[in-house]
Amino acid sequence: MINVLVNGANGKMGQLLCQILAQNNFVVLTREKGDASPKAVDLIIDFSSPQGAQESYELAKELKAAFLCGTTNLPENLKVNFEKENQIPLFYSPNVSISMALFKRLLVEAKKMYKGYTLTLHEIHHAQKKDAPSGTAKNLAAALNIVQDKITYERIGQVPGTHTLTLTSPNKDEEIILTHKLLNRQMLAQSAVNVGEWLLKQKAGSYDMNDYLEDLK
């Protein structure tokens, strides 16, 4: 049996992850800030907070467990450590949705095709989301060379996540609008479990969605 520790299991994503992992016959362990650490873990999944992600990362290295992190708004020094990791299999992405990764590739291609068009990025998330703009929006903006302070955002209701790129022609006589809309978190949690299963088969090193997608081909 494979032991999977979910850090931040009381959160919305954490609860879904626990359900899906249990349905797929994983042994599910949970941990919140300040809890004692388990002794035998194969994979740690973290969707908690920057501090929680740091603690999970240290625990994964201590237990020699694979580590999947989908927590956003991480400090730069932690992301640099993730990129340099060579002792355990580590996967980090501010969004673990396969469809979002493909959407990002579509946006990059659209930018290449429509040279000279003005790009604007807008995102909507639920009112409880703490970081604004979101980690996903920042990641998209970086890929498109959009300055971060030019990202617009809303925090309303229970919206899981909507990201929209608008390309406006130089003469403002045409707009191309591309949108990715997450309708519920179930798909996101299932994607994280799929990536986690893949990560367990990888050798020590740092991985991201590009690595995962390349392996799907």
How is 103-135 classified by DSSP, letter by letter?
Answer: HHHHHHHHHHHSTT-EEEEEEEE-TT--SSS-H
Say yes or no: 102 and 167 in one domain. Answer: yes
pLDDT confidence of residue 74: 92
Say yes or no: 162 and 194 in one domain. Answer: no
What whole-number distance in Å separates Cα of residue 56 and Cα of residue 6? 9
User: Distance between the two ends of the chain, CA-based, in angstroms?
Assistant: 28
Say yes or no: 49 and 119 in one domain. Answer: no
Pick the closest to residue 67 from 18, 6, 122 (CA basis). 6
Pick the closest to residue 118 from 84, 157, 82, 144 (CA basis). 144
Say yes or no: 90 and 190 in one domain. Answer: yes
What whole-number distance in Å separates Cα of residue 94 and Cα of residue 72? 5
Low-confidence ranges of the chain (pLDDT < 70): 33-34
pLDDT confidence of residue 196: 97
Count of helices and strands (H, E) across the chain:
7, 10
Say yes or no: 80 and 19 in one domain. Answer: yes
What whole-number distance in Å separates Cα of residue 195 and Cα of residue 85? 18
Range of the domain at 45: 3-94+186-216
What's this model's pTM, rounded to 2 decimal places?
0.83
Q: What is the CATH number of the domain that holds 197?
A: 3.40.50.720
Torsion of CA 54, 58, 60, 66, to 10 degrees: 60
**Apex CA 104: angle with CA 194 and CA 73, to 5°?**
75
pLDDT confidence of residue 131: 82
pLDDT confidence of residue 3: 96
pLDDT confidence of residue 34: 67
Say yes or no: 154 and 194 in one domain. Answer: no
